[in-house]
Structure 1
Protein backbone atom coordinates (compact mmCIF):
# COMPACT_ATOMS: atom_id res chain seq x y z
CA UNK A 1 0.00 0.00 0.00
CA UNK A 2 1.57 3.34 -1.02
CA UNK A 3 1.95 5.97 1.64
CA UNK A 4 0.45 9.40 1.02
CA UNK A 5 1.91 11.98 3.40
CA UNK A 6 0.99 15.65 3.26
CA UNK A 7 2.96 18.09 5.39
CA UNK A 8 1.42 21.27 6.81
CA UNK A 9 4.05 23.91 7.55
CA UNK A 10 4.17 27.60 8.35
CA UNK A 11 4.94 29.96 11.19
CA UNK A 12 3.34 29.64 14.61
CA UNK A 13 -0.27 30.77 14.56
CA UNK A 14 -0.82 30.29 10.81
CA UNK A 15 -3.58 27.69 11.26
CA UNK A 16 -1.83 24.36 10.68
CA UNK A 17 -3.46 22.51 13.58
CA UNK A 18 -6.84 24.01 12.71
CA UNK A 19 -6.50 22.99 9.04
CA UNK A 20 -5.66 19.40 9.98
CA UNK A 21 -8.61 19.28 12.40
CA UNK A 22 -10.84 20.62 9.63
CA UNK A 23 -9.78 17.95 7.11
CA UNK A 24 -9.11 14.89 9.28
CA UNK A 25 -11.62 12.07 9.50
CA UNK A 26 -10.12 10.87 12.79
CA UNK A 27 -9.53 12.65 16.06
CA UNK A 28 -6.33 14.60 15.54
CA UNK A 29 -3.28 13.67 17.58
CA UNK A 30 -1.74 16.92 18.78
CA UNK A 31 1.33 17.69 20.83
CA UNK A 32 0.26 21.03 22.21
CA UNK A 33 2.11 22.76 25.04
CA UNK A 34 1.79 26.13 26.71
CA UNK A 35 2.96 28.91 24.41
CA UNK A 36 5.90 30.72 25.97
CA UNK A 37 6.47 32.97 22.95
CA UNK A 38 3.52 35.38 23.08
CA UNK A 39 5.43 37.93 21.00
CA UNK A 40 5.47 35.59 17.99
CA UNK A 41 1.83 34.50 18.36
CA UNK A 42 -0.69 35.51 21.01
CA UNK A 43 -2.27 32.11 21.64
CA UNK A 44 -2.44 29.81 24.64
CA UNK A 45 -0.83 26.70 23.14
CA UNK A 46 1.54 25.74 20.34
CA UNK A 47 2.54 22.51 18.61
CA UNK A 48 5.86 21.18 19.91
CA UNK A 49 6.33 17.94 17.92
CA UNK A 50 3.56 17.31 15.39
CA UNK A 51 -0.13 17.14 14.64
CA UNK A 52 -1.51 14.06 12.92
CA UNK A 53 -4.77 13.36 11.11
CA UNK A 54 -6.00 11.05 8.35
CA UNK A 55 -8.32 11.00 5.38
CA UNK A 56 -9.48 7.61 4.04
CA UNK A 57 -9.06 7.04 0.31
CA UNK A 58 -10.84 3.85 -0.69
CA UNK A 59 -10.85 0.84 1.63
CA UNK A 60 -7.16 0.44 2.43
CA UNK A 61 -5.52 3.73 1.55
CA UNK A 62 -5.07 6.86 3.65
CA UNK A 63 -3.75 10.36 3.24
CA UNK A 64 -1.72 11.11 6.34
CA UNK A 65 -1.76 14.74 7.42
CA UNK A 66 1.23 15.91 9.46
CA UNK A 67 1.59 19.38 10.89
CA UNK A 68 5.01 20.57 11.99
CA UNK A 69 5.74 23.08 14.75
CA UNK A 70 5.94 26.66 13.55
CA UNK A 71 8.91 27.62 15.70
CA UNK A 72 12.37 27.11 14.22
CA UNK A 73 13.68 25.72 17.51
CA UNK A 74 11.72 22.56 16.59
CA UNK A 75 13.17 22.39 13.07
CA UNK A 76 14.52 18.88 13.67
CA UNK A 77 10.87 17.78 13.27
CA UNK A 78 10.73 19.64 9.95
CA UNK A 79 13.63 17.53 8.65
CA UNK A 80 12.21 14.24 9.90
CA UNK A 81 8.68 14.75 8.60
CA UNK A 82 9.44 16.22 5.20
CA UNK A 83 11.49 13.16 4.19
CA UNK A 84 8.35 11.02 3.72
CA UNK A 85 6.06 13.76 2.45
CA UNK A 86 4.80 13.96 -1.12
CA UNK A 87 3.36 17.46 -0.80
CA UNK A 88 3.48 20.64 1.23
CA UNK A 89 0.57 22.80 2.30
CA UNK A 90 2.27 25.98 3.43
CA UNK A 91 0.11 28.25 5.58
CA UNK A 92 1.03 31.87 6.28
CA UNK A 93 -1.09 34.29 8.28
CA UNK A 94 -1.58 37.65 6.61
CA UNK A 95 -1.45 39.60 9.87
CA UNK A 96 2.08 38.38 10.63
CA UNK A 97 4.68 41.17 10.97
CA UNK A 98 5.93 40.37 7.45
CA UNK A 99 4.06 37.54 5.71
CA UNK A 100 6.15 37.87 2.53
CA UNK A 101 9.39 37.28 4.46
CA UNK A 102 7.70 34.35 6.25
CA UNK A 103 6.95 32.72 2.88
CA UNK A 104 10.60 33.03 1.85
CA UNK A 105 11.78 31.64 5.18
CA UNK A 106 9.38 28.70 5.07
CA UNK A 107 10.07 27.84 1.43
CA UNK A 108 13.78 27.93 2.22
CA UNK A 109 13.30 25.56 5.14
CA UNK A 110 11.22 23.13 3.05
CA UNK A 111 13.03 23.62 -0.26
CA UNK A 112 13.77 19.92 -0.76
CA UNK A 113 10.08 19.02 -0.48
CA UNK A 114 9.03 22.06 -2.53
CA UNK A 115 11.37 20.98 -5.33
CA UNK A 116 10.42 17.30 -5.44
CA UNK A 117 6.78 17.28 -4.31
CA UNK A 118 3.53 19.14 -4.65
CA UNK A 119 3.15 22.63 -3.19
CA UNK A 120 0.29 24.99 -2.42
CA UNK A 121 0.26 28.11 -0.26
CA UNK A 122 -2.66 29.26 1.83
CA UNK A 123 -2.90 32.75 3.30
CA UNK A 124 -4.98 32.69 6.47
CA UNK A 125 -6.56 35.74 8.13
CA UNK A 126 -6.19 37.57 4.81
CA UNK A 127 -8.80 40.11 5.85
CA UNK A 128 -6.43 41.30 8.61
CA UNK A 129 -3.36 41.81 6.43
CA UNK A 130 -2.43 44.04 3.52
CA UNK A 131 -4.94 43.92 0.67
CA UNK A 132 -2.31 42.77 -1.82
CA UNK A 133 -0.81 40.04 0.40
CA UNK A 134 -1.88 37.15 -1.87
CA UNK A 135 -0.30 38.81 -4.91
CA UNK A 136 2.88 39.64 -2.99
CA UNK A 137 3.18 36.07 -1.69
CA UNK A 138 2.63 34.69 -5.21
CA UNK A 139 5.39 36.98 -6.53
CA UNK A 140 7.88 35.86 -3.87
CA UNK A 141 7.04 32.17 -4.34
CA UNK A 142 7.47 32.51 -8.12
CA UNK A 143 10.82 34.23 -7.66
CA UNK A 144 12.06 31.47 -5.33
CA UNK A 145 10.75 28.62 -7.49
CA UNK A 146 10.56 30.10 -11.01
CA UNK A 147 10.06 26.74 -12.72
CA UNK A 148 6.87 26.10 -10.74
CA UNK A 149 3.33 27.37 -11.00
CA UNK A 150 2.36 27.56 -7.33
CA UNK A 151 -1.30 27.89 -6.38
CA UNK A 152 -1.83 30.56 -3.70
CA UNK A 153 -5.17 30.79 -1.90
CA UNK A 154 -6.73 33.11 0.66
CA UNK A 155 -8.27 30.56 3.06
CA UNK A 156 -9.99 30.15 6.38
CA UNK A 157 -8.39 27.08 7.98
CA UNK A 158 -11.72 26.38 9.75
CA UNK A 159 -13.64 26.11 6.47
CA UNK A 160 -13.82 22.52 5.19
CA UNK A 161 -14.59 23.45 1.57
CA UNK A 162 -11.72 25.94 1.37
CA UNK A 163 -9.26 23.48 2.89
CA UNK A 164 -10.56 20.68 0.64
CA UNK A 165 -10.05 22.91 -2.42
CA UNK A 166 -6.49 23.57 -1.31
CA UNK A 167 -5.90 19.85 -0.72
CA UNK A 168 -7.29 18.97 -4.17
CA UNK A 169 -4.99 21.56 -5.78
CA UNK A 170 -2.07 19.99 -3.92
CA UNK A 171 -3.00 16.46 -5.03
CA UNK A 172 -3.29 17.70 -8.61
CA UNK A 173 0.18 19.25 -8.35
CA UNK A 174 1.60 16.03 -6.86
CA UNK A 175 0.12 13.98 -9.73
CA UNK A 176 1.37 16.46 -12.35
CA UNK A 177 4.91 16.40 -10.93
CA UNK A 178 4.88 12.58 -10.77
CA UNK A 179 3.81 12.44 -14.43
CA UNK A 180 6.57 14.89 -15.40
CA UNK A 181 9.12 12.71 -13.57
CA UNK A 182 7.91 9.56 -15.38
CA UNK A 183 8.01 11.34 -18.74
CA UNK A 184 11.57 12.57 -18.18
CA UNK A 185 12.95 9.05 -17.60
Structure 2
Protein backbone atom coordinates (compact mmCIF):
# COMPACT_ATOMS: atom_id res chain seq x y z
CA UNK A 1 0.00 0.00 0.00
CA UNK A 2 1.27 3.48 -0.84
CA UNK A 3 0.11 6.42 1.21
CA UNK A 4 -0.28 9.89 -0.17
CA UNK A 5 2.81 12.07 0.06
CA UNK A 6 0.98 14.32 2.53
CA UNK A 7 1.06 11.60 5.21
CA UNK A 8 4.48 10.49 6.35
CA UNK A 9 4.18 8.06 9.26
CA UNK A 10 7.11 7.41 11.55
CA UNK A 11 7.41 4.07 13.35
CA UNK A 12 4.20 2.30 14.25
CA UNK A 13 0.62 3.49 13.81
CA UNK A 14 -2.79 2.09 14.59
CA UNK A 15 -6.22 2.03 12.92
CA UNK A 16 -9.42 0.59 14.27
CA UNK A 17 -12.21 -1.13 12.39
CA UNK A 18 -15.67 -0.74 13.90
CA UNK A 19 -19.24 -1.60 13.02
CA UNK A 20 -22.01 -4.02 13.83
CA UNK A 21 -21.77 -7.79 13.97
CA UNK A 22 -21.46 -9.26 10.49
CA UNK A 23 -20.33 -6.09 8.73
CA UNK A 24 -16.97 -7.62 7.76
CA UNK A 25 -14.43 -6.28 10.27
CA UNK A 26 -12.65 -9.61 10.84
CA UNK A 27 -12.66 -10.37 7.13
CA UNK A 28 -11.34 -6.91 6.20
CA UNK A 29 -8.45 -7.13 8.65
CA UNK A 30 -7.59 -10.57 7.30
CA UNK A 31 -7.65 -9.26 3.73
CA UNK A 32 -5.42 -6.26 4.46
CA UNK A 33 -2.97 -7.84 6.90
CA UNK A 34 0.51 -8.84 5.81
CA UNK A 35 0.67 -11.31 8.69
CA UNK A 36 -1.75 -14.07 9.68
CA UNK A 37 -4.43 -12.18 11.62
CA UNK A 38 -5.21 -12.81 15.25
CA UNK A 39 -8.91 -13.48 15.75
CA UNK A 40 -10.65 -13.76 19.08
CA UNK A 41 -13.94 -15.24 18.04
CA UNK A 42 -16.49 -16.99 20.22
CA UNK A 43 -19.63 -18.97 19.45
CA UNK A 44 -22.75 -16.89 19.03
CA UNK A 45 -25.20 -17.75 21.76
CA UNK A 46 -28.45 -16.67 20.19
CA UNK A 47 -31.78 -17.86 19.08
CA UNK A 48 -32.61 -19.97 16.09
CA UNK A 49 -31.69 -18.78 12.63
CA UNK A 50 -28.23 -17.46 13.46
CA UNK A 51 -26.48 -17.11 10.12
CA UNK A 52 -22.98 -17.03 11.66
CA UNK A 53 -21.52 -19.57 14.10
CA UNK A 54 -18.84 -17.18 15.47
CA UNK A 55 -18.49 -13.51 16.37
CA UNK A 56 -15.57 -11.32 17.38
CA UNK A 57 -15.36 -11.43 21.17
CA UNK A 58 -12.53 -9.11 22.16
CA UNK A 59 -10.57 -7.90 19.15
CA UNK A 60 -9.07 -8.80 15.82
CA UNK A 61 -5.51 -7.86 14.95
CA UNK A 62 -3.47 -7.62 11.79
CA UNK A 63 -0.57 -5.52 10.55
CA UNK A 64 0.55 -3.95 7.29
CA UNK A 65 4.01 -2.81 6.32
CA UNK A 66 3.77 0.52 4.55
CA UNK A 67 5.92 1.66 1.63
CA UNK A 68 8.30 3.51 3.95
CA UNK A 69 8.79 0.46 6.20
CA UNK A 70 6.50 1.65 8.98
CA UNK A 71 3.94 -0.70 10.48
CA UNK A 72 0.23 0.02 10.48
CA UNK A 73 -1.51 -2.02 13.18
CA UNK A 74 -5.12 -2.95 12.40
CA UNK A 75 -7.49 -3.59 15.30
CA UNK A 76 -11.07 -4.75 14.92
CA UNK A 77 -13.55 -3.89 17.64
CA UNK A 78 -16.12 -6.44 18.73
CA UNK A 79 -19.50 -5.77 17.12
CA UNK A 80 -21.66 -6.73 20.07
CA UNK A 81 -22.60 -3.81 22.31
CA UNK A 82 -21.89 -5.82 25.45
CA UNK A 83 -18.20 -5.57 24.52
CA UNK A 84 -18.32 -1.78 24.02
CA UNK A 85 -15.81 -1.29 26.85
CA UNK A 86 -13.20 -2.52 24.34
CA UNK A 87 -14.05 0.21 21.82
CA UNK A 88 -12.48 3.01 23.83
CA UNK A 89 -9.48 0.89 24.79
CA UNK A 90 -8.78 -0.05 21.19
CA UNK A 91 -9.30 3.54 19.97
CA UNK A 92 -6.60 4.91 22.27
CA UNK A 93 -3.79 6.42 20.18
CA UNK A 94 -5.37 5.27 16.90
CA UNK A 95 -5.16 7.46 13.82
CA UNK A 96 -8.61 6.77 12.41
CA UNK A 97 -11.75 4.65 12.41
CA UNK A 98 -12.73 2.48 9.47
CA UNK A 99 -16.47 2.02 9.97
CA UNK A 100 -18.10 -0.92 8.16
CA UNK A 101 -21.88 -1.00 7.74
CA UNK A 102 -23.82 -4.01 6.42
CA UNK A 103 -26.15 -2.64 3.72
CA UNK A 104 -28.29 -5.80 3.74
CA UNK A 105 -29.53 -5.06 7.27
CA UNK A 106 -32.88 -3.31 7.52
CA UNK A 107 -31.43 -1.11 10.30
CA UNK A 108 -28.28 -0.10 8.39
CA UNK A 109 -28.82 3.65 8.91
CA UNK A 110 -29.58 3.09 12.58
CA UNK A 111 -26.30 1.17 12.87
CA UNK A 112 -24.48 4.02 11.12
CA UNK A 113 -25.92 6.54 13.60
CA UNK A 114 -25.25 4.29 16.58
CA UNK A 115 -21.57 3.86 15.73
CA UNK A 116 -21.12 7.53 14.82
CA UNK A 117 -22.47 8.36 18.28
CA UNK A 118 -20.39 5.74 20.05
CA UNK A 119 -17.18 6.97 18.37
CA UNK A 120 -18.15 10.64 17.98
CA UNK A 121 -15.43 12.18 20.13
CA UNK A 122 -12.78 9.89 18.65
CA UNK A 123 -13.87 10.62 15.06
CA UNK A 124 -13.84 14.39 15.60
CA UNK A 125 -10.26 14.17 16.92
CA UNK A 126 -8.98 11.82 14.20
CA UNK A 127 -10.41 10.62 10.87
CA UNK A 128 -13.11 8.36 9.49
CA UNK A 129 -13.87 6.43 6.34
CA UNK A 130 -16.99 4.33 5.84
CA UNK A 131 -17.23 1.07 3.94
CA UNK A 132 -20.64 -0.20 2.92
CA UNK A 133 -20.58 -4.00 2.74
CA UNK A 134 -22.95 -6.74 1.54
CA UNK A 135 -24.52 -4.55 -1.15
CA UNK A 136 -24.91 -7.68 -3.24
CA UNK A 137 -27.30 -9.14 -0.63
CA UNK A 138 -29.97 -6.49 -0.94
CA UNK A 139 -30.94 -3.36 0.86
CA UNK A 140 -32.25 -0.36 -0.96
CA UNK A 141 -29.75 2.22 0.30
CA UNK A 142 -27.23 3.94 -1.95
CA UNK A 143 -23.94 5.70 -1.24
CA UNK A 144 -25.85 8.98 -1.58
CA UNK A 145 -28.19 7.85 1.23
CA UNK A 146 -25.24 7.18 3.52
CA UNK A 147 -23.49 10.43 2.58
CA UNK A 148 -26.69 12.38 3.29
CA UNK A 149 -26.98 10.73 6.72
CA UNK A 150 -23.36 11.53 7.50
CA UNK A 151 -23.94 15.17 6.56
CA UNK A 152 -27.11 15.34 8.69
CA UNK A 153 -25.11 13.94 11.61
CA UNK A 154 -22.42 16.60 11.17
CA UNK A 155 -19.82 14.39 9.47
CA UNK A 156 -19.93 16.04 6.04
CA UNK A 157 -16.68 15.26 4.23
CA UNK A 158 -16.32 11.59 5.03
CA UNK A 159 -15.18 9.18 2.32
CA UNK A 160 -17.82 6.46 1.74
CA UNK A 161 -17.27 3.44 -0.52
CA UNK A 162 -19.01 0.21 -1.45
CA UNK A 163 -16.48 -2.44 -0.44
CA UNK A 164 -16.04 -6.16 -0.41
CA UNK A 165 -14.22 -6.84 2.88
CA UNK A 166 -12.61 -9.93 1.31
CA UNK A 167 -10.84 -7.75 -1.26
CA UNK A 168 -7.49 -6.33 -0.13
CA UNK A 169 -7.71 -3.50 -2.67
CA UNK A 170 -11.11 -2.38 -1.34
CA UNK A 171 -9.89 -2.44 2.28
CA UNK A 172 -6.70 -0.57 1.38
CA UNK A 173 -8.82 2.08 -0.35
CA UNK A 174 -10.72 2.62 2.93
CA UNK A 175 -7.47 2.83 4.86
CA UNK A 176 -5.85 5.27 2.45
CA UNK A 177 -9.00 7.41 2.35
CA UNK A 178 -8.99 7.74 6.14
CA UNK A 179 -5.28 8.49 6.30
CA UNK A 180 -5.46 11.01 3.46
CA UNK A 181 -7.68 13.36 5.48
CA UNK A 182 -5.31 13.45 8.45
CA UNK A 183 -3.28 16.59 8.99
CA UNK A 184 0.33 15.36 8.69
CA UNK A 185 1.67 18.26 10.76
CA UNK A 186 -0.74 17.58 13.63
CA UNK A 187 0.13 13.85 13.65
CA UNK A 188 3.93 14.33 13.52
SS in 1 for 2:84: helix
Q: Secondary structure at the match of 1:25?
A: coil
Q: What RMSD over aligned residues (CA atoms) do the two structures have, in Å?
A: 2.0
Partner of residue 132, structure 2: 123
TM-score, normalising length: structure 2? 0.87
Equivalents in 1 of 2:83, 2:36: separation in Å? Answer: 23
Deviations along 1:38-58, one digit per CA (max 9) or x if unpaired, are 579620100110000000125
Unpaired runs of at least 5, structure 1: none
Which residue does the alignment assign to 1:136?
Answer: 145
* Aligned pairs for 1:1-185 within 5 A: 2-37=11-46, 42-57=51-66, 61-146=70-155, 148-174=156-182, 177-179=183-185, 181=186
Q: Assess, with a 3 A threshold, how the Cα gap between structure 1 residues 122 and 41 changes in structure 2: closer, same or farther.
A: farther
CA distance in 2, matches of 1:43, 1:169: 30
Q: Which runs of 4+ in 1 moved over 6 A?
A: none
- The 1:142–1:60 alpha-carbon spacing in structure 2 relative to 1, beyond 3 Å, is same
State whether residues 90 and 122 of structure 1, in contact with CA within 8 Å, keep that contact through their aligned partners in structure 2. Answer: yes
Normalising by structure 1, we get a TM-score of 0.88
Higher RCO, 1 or 2 (CA under 8 Å, sep at least 6)? 2
Q: Is the 8 Å Cα contact of residues 13 and 41 (structure 1) preserved in structure 2? A: no
Gaps of at least 5 residues in structure 2 are 1-9
Deviation track 1:39-92 (CA, whole Å, cap 9, x = no partner) reads 796201001100000001257520000000001100000011112211010000
Higher helix share: 1
